[in-house]
Amino acid sequence: MEESKKIWNALLSEIATRISTVSYEMWFSKIEPLTISYNKLVVVAPLRNYKAMLAKEYHNDILFALAQLNTYINDVIVITPDEKSDYDHVQPVKEIESDASMLFNSNYTFDTFVVGTSNQIAYAAAQAVAKDPGNLHNPLFIYGGVGLGKTHIMHAIGNYILHDNPRANICYVTTEQFVNDFVESIKNNKDSEQNRKFRDKYRKLDVFFLDDVQFLIGKTGTQEALFHTFNDLYQTGKQIVISSDRHPKELSFLEERLRSRFQCGLTCDVTHPDIETRIAILQKKAYSKKFNISQALIYFIAEKIDSNIRELEGALSKVIFYCQLYNIESADSIDIVKTALKDDIDVTSHALSIDTIVEATSEYFNIPKNEIVGKKKMKNIVFARQIAIYLTNDMLGLPLATIGRYFGYGDHTTIIYTRNKIAEMEKKDTLTAMQIRDIKNIVEKR
């Protein structure tokens, strides 16, 4: 079999373990390997959309899958059939020295990371480590649920250190890779060449990243190896960064000595992002993808998808893809988002959102939605707008700044003023009180 085909098939089986079957069928099953150009695998996608999607959404998965394969191929180039001729005369180049910067995803940097209350401590600690590895927090132990940014933070540290010092001897491995490496090293007998290679590889590092250490469960041999690696690095002041889905104390399957080592530096967590952070993440991602999406829809997605950041990104990608597919210039109607995300959010039960409140207010006063969130100063419109603002604060308890931005006010002093004014009216004016009650009823029935 041709080399490109062999590598592509191996890559596919890795990728299949990383993404959903549906995405796999949709995005990977129709791709054909073409050739190898230098140390990159060139594959052909049937349509331009595939190319964009693979480059944007699945590039990480592809890179990670490649890393698992242990090949000289370090990237995949996706082309469309009309670009095939560009690759008529290319030659593969094998045995290119592995380059540390390949280990890190260039999109995972401090700049692309949105900081909020859920991750600010981990972020600050990571920056400190990146600026002065080995000296401040050693080891740095970051823990938290899936999709909350642990890997991103680790890569950001790696990218930063390599930018400062391209010669730094850095190694980033997933725990799986570390286990495989270790298993490989003891396959033969104990003092083999392989065994020495393993020791040398890890003990000569300046910075060592071990991702998802919870996967050491049941691997006692590797735990032992990690313990020695850890000690060697630690004693010589080399930086260690570890991530896990839980606090070291809860890694009960690890030997106590390893658990206590993990805690001798700084342990910090990443937790679920609040709505403000989710909004900021969506805004940043939409902006970086040059995708036009209305503020209201960003809020809608952020409200609906509160599980983790990976899902949040996935939801945005789906909306983008849907718009590309149907040549929609910009996402500005709630129906687009609802259709694109029909599998991800419950669109039948109207979970409460700002949108619902604005809709109900619009219906009640018979004023179009865009005027309620717009700038018109007519008395009746302003009043409806103020009621909507009041209800948003009252029923959703969103931060005032968030509400301010939604309704197009630069700062939230107007929101405070409005809230207090309507609250006062609700107490003193029976008509206003009745209107508020009626709209609440409409909202609650949705």
Task: Count Cα atoms within 13 angstroms, Cβ side, for 342.
Answer: 5
Q: Which is nearer to Mg ion, 105 or 239 (CB)?
A: 105
Q: Which of residues 298-317 bind ligand ADP (CB under 6 A)?
A: 309-310, 313
Closest residue to bound ligand ADP by CB: 149
Residue placing its CB nearer to ligand ADP in the complex, 112 or 214: 112
Residue 152 lies near ligand ADP (rule: CB under 6 A): yes
Nearest-angstrom CA–CA distance, 201 and 195? 10
Round to whole Å and give the CA distance between 16 and 257: 36
Residue 381: in which H helix or E strand, if any? helix 379-391
Under the binding rule (CB under 5 A), the answer on residue 37 touching Mg ion is no
Nearest to ligand ADP of 124, 146 (CB atom)? 146
Query: Does 435 engage in binding with ligand ADP (CB under 6 A)?
Result: no
Is 211 or 355 the residue whose CB approaches ligand ADP more closely?
Answer: 211
Rounded Cα gap, residues 93 and 40, in angstroms: 9
| CA dihedral of residues 219, 224, 225, 231 (deg, nearest 10) | 140
The binding track of 79-108 with respect to ligand ADP, each residue x by CB under 6 A or -, is -----------------------------x
The DSSP result for 100-113, as a single string, is GGGGS-TT-SSTTP
Which x/- pattern, by CB under 5 A, does the window 151-170 give for Mg ion? x-------------------
Q: Which does 300 bind (CB under 5 to 8 A by kind): Mg ion, ligand ADP, none?
A: none
Can you tell me the distance from the alpha carbon of 206 to that of 168, in angstroms, rounded to the nearest whole number? Answer: 7
Q: How many residues bind ligand ADP (CB under 6 A)?
A: 16
Q: Taking the complex as a whole, how short is the minimal distance between the CB of residue 71 and ligand ADP, in angstroms? A: 23
CB of 144 to ligand ADP, least distance (A): 6
39 binds, among Mg ion, ligand ADP, none (CB under 5 to 8 A by kind): none
Closest approach, Cβ 295 to Mg ion, in A, equals: 30
Nearer to ligand ADP, 184 or 245 (CB): 245
Chosen residue from 279, 281, 340, 341 binding ligand ADP by CB under 6 A: 281
Q: 304-321 burial, b if ≥16 CB within 10 A, otherwise e?
A: bbeebbeebbbbbbbbbb
For residue 152, the partner it binds in Mg ion, ligand ADP, none, with Cβ less than 5 to 8 A by kind, is: ligand ADP
Does 147 engage in binding with ligand ADP (CB under 6 A)? yes
Classified as helix, coil or strand, 210 is strand
33 binding ligand ADP? (CB under 6 A): no
Query: Which strand (E) or helix (H) includes residue 42?
Result: strand 40-44
Contact between 174 and Mg ion per CB under 5 A: no
Q: Which long-range CB contacts under 8 A does 110-114 form with residues at least 24 apart?
A: 110/156, 110/160, 112/152, 112/284, 112/288, 113/149, 113/152, 113/153, 113/156, 114/277, 114/280, 114/281, 114/284
Residue 68 binds which one of Mg ion, ligand ADP, none, with CB within 5 to 8 A depending on kind?
none
Using CB under 6 A as the binding rule, whether residue 151 contacts ligand ADP is answered as yes
Q: How far apart are CA 393 and CA 357, in angstroms?
A: 10
**Residues 6+ positions from 445 with CB-CB distance below 8 Å:** none
Cβ neighbourhood burial of 102 (10 Å; 0-12, 13-18, 19+): middle
72 or 291: CB nearest ligand ADP: 291
From 15-23, 90-98, 150-158, 327-335, span contacting Mg ion (CB under 5 A): 150-158
- Cβ contacts of residue 173 below 8 Å, gap of 6+? 181, 209, 210, 211
Cα separations (Å) of 248 from 217, 219, 259?
13, 16, 6
DSSP state for residue 98 in the 8-state scheme: P
Residue 38 has what DSSP assignment? B
Among 47, 69, 124, 146, binds ligand ADP (CB under 6 A): 146
Q: Does 272 bind ligand ADP (CB under 6 A)?
A: no
What residue 310 binds from ligand ADP, Mg ion, none (CB within 5 to 8 A, per partner kind)? Answer: ligand ADP
Interface ranges with ligand ADP (CB under 6 A) = 108, 112-114, 119, 146-152, 281, 309-310, 313
Residues near Mg ion (CB under 5 A): 150-151
